[in-house]
Amino acid sequence: MAVQRPRIGMYEVGRTLGEGRFAKVKLGKHKVTGASVAIKIIEKDSLQKVDKWVKREIACMKLIKHPHVVRVLEVLASKKNVYIILEYVEGGELYDKIVENGKLDENEARRYFQQLIHGVDYCHSRGVYHRDLKPENILLDAKDNIKISDFGLSALSQQRRDDGLFHTTCGTPSYVAPEVMDEKGYEGAPADLWSCGVILYVLLAGSLPFNGSSPSNLYQKMQKSVMDFPPDFPVGPRELIKRLLDPNPKCENEWFQVGCKATTKEDDLDVYFRKDYFMTECSRPVLMNAFDIISMLSRGLDLSGLFLEKDAWKKETKFTSVHPAEEILSKIEDFAVGLGYKVKILNFKMRIQSSKPGRKGYLSMATEVMEVAPSLFMVDMHKTSGDTLEFRDFHQQLSRGLKDIVWKSEEELTGRS
């Protein structure tokens, strides 16, 4: 007689993959598709202690849909637990590979590092800062590609204080930027890039760049960037590491560029619509819950339906419409194809990509239609790769081309102020 496995929604629950102070992670399997997932289980009794942490982790990961970042598939709940359903990454931690092999081959280390930078840069473009990057939080998939995980200490742009800086001290001492520890405030992107520099050093040396007899001694060495390279350390990446472990890091470096390819290539549209990500095809758009709407309002979204103005066009645009979701997608598709773009659609999500490379490779945009209320839909479009000015031009043309489906308030229709 077959053993009946416990189930969470449509997922069978298997062995434990890992366990922390407030959560455990189990292997899961979707009953219909057979796709493997990781199920993060958090007891609601514990949730009261870490409520902000869990909400922030979910909010951050929902914003990120990138080949080198672990994805949140959905969030479920029971009377006792909250379940975060995650993409399953079967290759283990990058940390384990370093422990097993010591320092890595230069080309292998460069490939991992390029993928890490692509993933981190995308997170930053969506206003998400990881703040705990280290080999233990980088997973390897079946094809030996990295997936950034564990956004429990991450932060969103709107969490910055009035001075434009973050002030929460967090992260792992050996990997955290010195400015995070000095309590004067810090920028999220340079802090993450510092951690990337430490990771690159560890990949190529098999050891940490900074060692101290005490936390204060370690901090002093990091603050002054006092480090030594082993005699057999490759020459090419040394200058890049020095730049990263500096207050003004830059990744434009000849060693980094070798074999470096943009994450989104001309024929890569299908990778964003892999069936195991979306499980089964949807008959209607995702219904936005109160948390989603409040989250968008907190980021300055005006539900009046007009395209976002000021600086929002740089990386994203949102608008509302009372037209059916299928019609909205069809209008955007016709518009984009008319301008020579390639389009893929699945589950009310759309991928738009230029057919020719521009100044910074192929311009690529992700679009999703979500249901706010019966007969009211939200369209969220953001740039995932390519040149910002090219996205601005596309946005301006789109705002003119879709005026007939963008919802307007009664005041706007009648011309009243």
80 and 38, same domain (yes or no): yes
Within a domain: 263: no
State the binding site for ATP.
40
What was the pLDDT predicted at 304?
A: 41
According to the model, what pLDDT value does residue 163 have? 81
Distance (Å, whole) CA 66 – CA 116: 11
Residue 299 domain-assigned (yes or no): yes
Catalytic-labelled residue, pool 132, 267, 393, 404: 132
Enumerate the β-bridge partners of residue 126: none
Give me the pLDDT at residue 13, please.
Answer: 92
Residue ranges for the known binding site are: 40
Cβ proximity of 177 and 167 under 8 Å: no
User: Is the CB of residue 152 less than 8 Å from the CB of residue 57?
Assistant: yes
- Residue at token pair 């659609």: 345
- What are the phi and psi torsion angles at 26 (to 5°)? -115, 155
Sign of the Cα pseudo-torsion (259, 260, 264, 270, in order): positive
- Asked if 133 and 161 count as a contact pair (C-beta separation under 8 A), the reply is no
Q: Which residues are CB-neighbours of 317 under 8 A, at least 6 positions away?
A: 307, 308, 381, 382, 395, 398, 399
Q: What pLDDT is recorded for position 111?
A: 94
Q: Are residues 229 and 276 in the same domain?
A: no
pLDDT of residue 38: 94
At residue 251, what are phi and psi to the nearest 5 degrees? Answer: -105, 5
Q: How far apart are CA 269 and CA 205, in angstroms?
A: 36
- Structure tokens that stand for 410 in this block: 């009664």
- Cβ(135)–Cβ(93) below 8 Å: yes
Of the candidates 345, 349, 346, 334, the residue with the CA atom closest to the CA atom of residue 398: 334
Q: What are phi and psi of 119, to 5 degrees?
A: -65, -45
How many CB atoms neighbour CB 349 within 10 A? 22
Full pLDDT tens readout for the chain, 417 residues: 455 678 888 999 999 988 877 788 999 999 999 999 999 998 877 666 666 677 778 888 888 888 999 998 988 888 888 899 999 999 999 999 999 988 999 999 999 999 999 899 888 888 899 999 999 999 999 999 999 998 888 888 878 888 888 888 888 889 999 888 877 888 888 899 999 999 999 999 999 998 877 778 888 888 877 788 999 999 989 888 888 887 444 445 556 556 665 554 434 454 444 333 333 455 677 665 555 554 454 444 444 443 444 444 457 778 888 888 899 999 999 999 998 999 988 878 888 999 888 777 788 888 888 887 777 888 888 888 888 888 888 888 888 888 777 765 444 434 444
Active site residue 311: no
Domain identity same for 330 and 373: yes
Phi-psi region of 178 (alpha: psi -120 to 50; beta: other; left: phi over 0): alpha
What is the extent of the structural domain holding 203?
Answer: 94-257
| Strand stretches in 136-288, DSSP E | 138-140, 146-148, 155-156, 286-287
Spatial distance between the Cα atoms of 194 and 367, rounded to a whole number of angstroms? 32
* Co-location of 107 and 212 in the same domain: yes
Query: Of the candidates 257, 291, 306, which is a domain's last residue?
Result: 257
State whether 188 and 141 are in the same domain: yes
The whole-angstrom separation of Cα 23 and Cα 260 is 37
Dist. CA 144–CA 115, nearest whole Å: 11
b/e map of 353-368 (b: 16 or more CB within 10 Å)? bbeeeeeebbbbbbbb
Closest C-alpha to 111, from 231, 195, 244, 204: 204
CA atoms of 87 and 136, how far apart (whole Å)? 17
Q: Which of 87, 116, 147 is the last residue of a domain?
A: 87
User: Which pLDDT does position 158 carry in this prediction?
Assistant: 78
Q: Is 121 inside a domain boundary?
A: yes
Does a structural domain hold residue 398? yes
Are residues 143 and 13 part of one domain? no
Parallel, antiparallel or unpaired: strands 286-287 and 364-373: parallel
Residue type, 29: K
How much is the pLDDT for 55? 78
Q: In this predicted structure, what is the pLDDT of residue 51?
A: 64
For the whole model, what pTM was predicted? 0.62
End-of-domain residue from the set 87, 113, 137: 87
**What is the C-alpha to C-alpha distance for residues 303 and 271, in angstroms, rounded to an integer?**
32
- What CATH number is attached to the domain comprising 99? 1.10.510.10
Domain count, the chain: 3
Residue 173 token pair: 């001492």
| 137 shares a domain with 13 | no
* pLDDT at residue 303 in the model: 43
